[in-house]
Amino acid sequence: MEILGIPIQALAGQLLLGIVNGSFYAMLSLGLAIIFGLLHIANFVHGAQYMVGAFVTWMLLQYLGISYWWALLLAPAVMFCLGVAIEYVFLRRIYELDHFYGLLMTFGLLLMIESIFRYYFGSTGLPYENPLPGGINVGFMFLPYYRAWVVGVSLVVCFGTWFMIERTKLGSYLRASTENPEMVLAFGINVPLLLTLTYGFGVALAGFAGAMAAPITNVSPTMGTHLIIIIFAVVVIGGLGSIMGSIVTGFALGILEGLTKFFFAPASTTLVFVVMVLILFIRPAGLFGKERP
């Protein structure tokens, strides 16, 4: 079917892919923004943590026969523990230092984690069975169930997280600690513990995204590598200061990418970076940015 000469089916298909990609951009940049806001660590290893989440999901099925639905709970739980361990052993020691040491250390962790997985699993991807096969024809396009599920769940998770941070008491501890952690400590709250748990939560979010990605992309050790750089561009565009900013920017860029793929495919891989460059000239602090550029 065509409207104004544009094949609607193809466009809608590409848009759907875009929204699905946007879901992952949103979830991952959300986790990164939360970690950076509170811990001031640019969690370079976030992409690798997403990859490990996917692998945990795959391993749960492969070695323990545990299905996708349980993996959606277990993989984030495992990643939460991993995150807590990383924070406690490594990150805790460098809070006092210049912020770029956080980037350097997480870069080192990324090299370590990715190389281990590449060693054991090679670089080619491992398939993971789609738990929700099939789809429904909605007239102008075919909507696969799993893709719809991904978009739905990520919207719920993203806005649930936003709500937790902006509207609950725990969230007020987080927001206050982002602004003035010393004062929050002086009120009696164990801020170091809060930092640890928050990092764990951010990593769990990445792991959850990985679990959701497993049926879509092949589970491979390099699945997070290029993605993390896109996520960095997303957070520069959106501004790290705002939770809602990361979510909206993530979805928007995914959709934009989908449209670009439809209208001018060769540009789609570089679109996010081009947008980043534009934003840096128009609004250096980012679309929703609050800090001084």
- For 241, phi and psi rounded to 5 degrees? -75, -15
CA distance 90 to 185: 22
293 contacts another protein (rule: CB under 8 A): yes
CB of 155 to another protein, least distance (A): 24
How many residues of this chain bind another protein (CB under 8 A)?
Answer: 64
178 contacts another protein (rule: CB under 8 A): yes
Stretch of residues binding another protein (CB under 8 A), selected from 2-10, 16-24, 174-182, 195-203: 174-182
CA distances to 59, 251, 261, 279 from 257, rounded to whole Å, are 31, 10, 6, 16
88 contacts another protein (rule: CB under 8 A): no
- What string of DSSP letters covers 246-257? HHHHHHHHHHHH
Candidate residues 7, 93, 163, 170; the one interacting with another protein per rule CB under 8 A: 93
Q: Which is nearer to another protein, 20 or 165 (CB)?
A: 165
Q: Which is nearer to another protein, 114 or 257 (CB)?
A: 114
Show the site string, 30-69: x = touches another protein by CB under 8 A, - = not. Answer: ------x-----x---------------------------
Show the site string, 253-292: x = touches another protein by CB under 8 A, - = not. Answer: -------------x--xx-xxx-xx--xx--x--------
Q: Which is nearer to another protein, 105 or 150 (CB)?
A: 105
Stretch of residues binding another protein (CB under 8 A), selected from 11-19, 52-60, 222-230, 256-264: 222-230
126 contacts another protein (rule: CB under 8 A): no
CA distances to 1, 140, 142, 147, 238 from 137, rounded to whole Å, are 14, 8, 4, 13, 34
110 contacts another protein (rule: CB under 8 A): yes
CB of 233 to another protein, least distance (A): 4
114 contacts another protein (rule: CB under 8 A): yes
| Binding residues vs another protein (CB under 8 A) | 36, 42, 90, 93-94, 97, 99-105, 107-116, 118-119, 169, 172-173, 175-176, 178-180, 182-191, 225-226, 229-230, 232-233, 235-236, 240, 266, 269-270, 272-274, 276-277, 280-281, 284, 293
